[in-house]
Amino acid sequence: MMNKEVLKLENNEFVTIANYKEQELEDYKGNPLIEALPDILTVEDAFEQMSYLPPFHPRERNLSSHLRYHALLRLLRFYQPIEKPIQLEAKFSRFIRNGYVNRNPTGKHHVQVLNELHRRLVSKEDLGLPPDIRSTASSFSLIGFPGMGKSSAIERVLSLYPKVIVHQFPINIMQIVWLKLNSPHDGSPKTLCINFFSKIDEMLGTDYQSKFGDRRNSVSSMVIRVGQVARRHCLGTLIIDETQHLLAAKKEVIESMMNFLVTLINEIGIPVMLIGTMKSQELLQRDFRQARRSSGQGDMVWEQMKNDDNWEVLISSMWEYQWIKDPSPLNREWLDCFYEESQGIVDVAVKLFILAQSHAIETGEEKISPSVIKKVSKEHLKMIQPMLEALKNGKSSEISKYEDIKPFDIEDFITNRIPIVNLREKLIAEKEKIAEKRNKRDIPILEKVIINLINLDVSEKLAESTAKRVIKENPNIEARDAVKMSLVLIDEDMENSKRTKNTNKNTTKNTLFLIVNNGRKEKKSAYESLQEAGIISNPYSELL
């Protein structure tokens, strides 16, 4: 059965085959669930592996305005880990491994729990397991201001771990390392359970939702089914994001959800991590406290960054990505300016950098300044100005009033402004503009091809024109193939150019030969023949 499942999951993007590594810590030895996890990272390794610095070449500054405008969106994928994300990686590494310590599937405890959950479901007994077989699962929460990068940080941490690990020997199981869900807007435990089954089905190709996700089922039976599925697939941790959504639900619904989460941790034995804004702090600290275990993890509270070394590392890494023709060097004035206008909120700082450059490109100024930063902040981030003012005045407690306010979708902003840039520049035909607006997917491929050609010492203009030609003639071409085809076309054009020059030279030589040869028949000198044919002029003509 397991072999069929492995074949079924062979091309699944979520799945990896178990590769066991000998553990140095005694607590982790002999546990295949831990031995199959990636290596425990040092601080240096975590910094390197969590970073994502999009491709960039300074010569891209010479590209057309509309292409540079699109390139700005690469900054939305930029990620530079600093102190708090590195701490989160270390905490999560301990958290997930600690949750597996007492859930070794090679021992009788694992089967014992599955059997007990099944027995209680059949006999319709109350939730929970006997104390002698309960897990020491733990929990912790990550809370902070919106835009501080909580979700981005946990996504980067999770990217270091596979979602599903297939074990074939010595155990036959599909281990789900982590599962991340958003808190349901209605705050309903049933909705969360249904989402749980749906996500599992998406990863494994199972049909748990149709079997167990009927809304007519009771919460009690659903929770036990969640426990069964989580135990069967050795779920490492359940992560629930956007927990502030629970506050919109009725009091009894909130209580039901919190009881559900406590049951998952204390009774069923699933480690749970909750992520939310500062608005959810009181709820989590009050109602989730009973789920705490003495795991030594502790909660993490992310407020805005300070204007310190971490801020300098972040801005310095981001500063390289300037597509304007007159880039500004980084100095203390810039660090202070960005901090003042963003108040240490990472999302705001990055968007201000994008907005400032888009303004410089659109107006043709091709340079940013602190005054431009302040201008775009006031014009385009009006909705969050009250939140920023509260932070500037030290009234961080008032932030909860504005937590539902988020900066606008900058990707839509950039896309909608492109026609203005194109009109000013007048470099692209009308139908190409329309095609560009309709098919955004072409832009990243075009950028990749141009960057690769530039890196191969092709001039910016030639790289841009050739890449456009290749992609226009081959709409579904892959970036790698487009680069190869572009290089072939460039080589062919160069060869054709050489042939044309040689042909012209040969033609000229033949013509001169005929003129001189015919002149000799009439007993004229070569000089006289060429002069009569107008090839050369009489040096004394102006004097005659």
pTM, 2 dp:
0.76
Please give the structure tokens belonging to residue 489.
């076309």
- Strands annotated E in 178-317: 178-182, 237-241, 272-277, 300-302
Please give the structure tokens belonging to residue 323.
């597509």
CATH of domain 2-52+72-302: 3.40.50.300
CA distance 166 to 6: 7
Q: Which residues of 156-171 are buried (b: 16+ CB within 10 A; e: fewer)?
A: bbbebbbbbbbbeeeb
For the chain, the C-alpha Rg in angstroms (whole number) is 33
Please give the structure tokens belonging to residue 288.
């989730």
> Mean pLDDT in each 10-residue stretch from start to end of the chain (544 residues)?
46 80 93 95 92 92 91 92 92 92 75 64 58 59 83 92 91 93 86 93 92 87 86 91 81 80 76 85 62 54 88 94 96 96 91 95 94 93 83 68 58 61 46 44 75 88 91 89 90 76 60 68 70 60 38
Q: Give yes or no for a contact between 335 and 371, defined as CB atoms under 8 angstroms apart.
A: no
- Where are the domains positioned within the chain? 2-52+72-302, 309-408, 443-544
In this prediction, residue 6 carries a pLDDT of 46
Cis peptide upstream of residue 170 (ω within 30 degrees of 0): yes
CA distance 427 to 440: 19
CA distance 250 to 186: 9
CB burial class (10 A; 0-12, 13-18, 19+) of residue 494?
A: exposed
- Give tens-digit pLDDT for 182-204: 988 888 888 999 999 999 999 99
- Give tens-digit pLDDT for 140-164: 888 887 778 888 899 999 999 999 9
Helices (H), 166-250: 189-204, 208-212, 219-232
CA distance 437 to 414: 11
Sheet of strand 300-302: strand arrangement:
178-182, 237-241, 272-277, 139-144, 300-302
In this prediction, residue 288 carries a pLDDT of 60
- Give tens-digit pLDDT for 51-95: 999 999 999 999 999 899 889 999 998 999 989 999 999 999 999
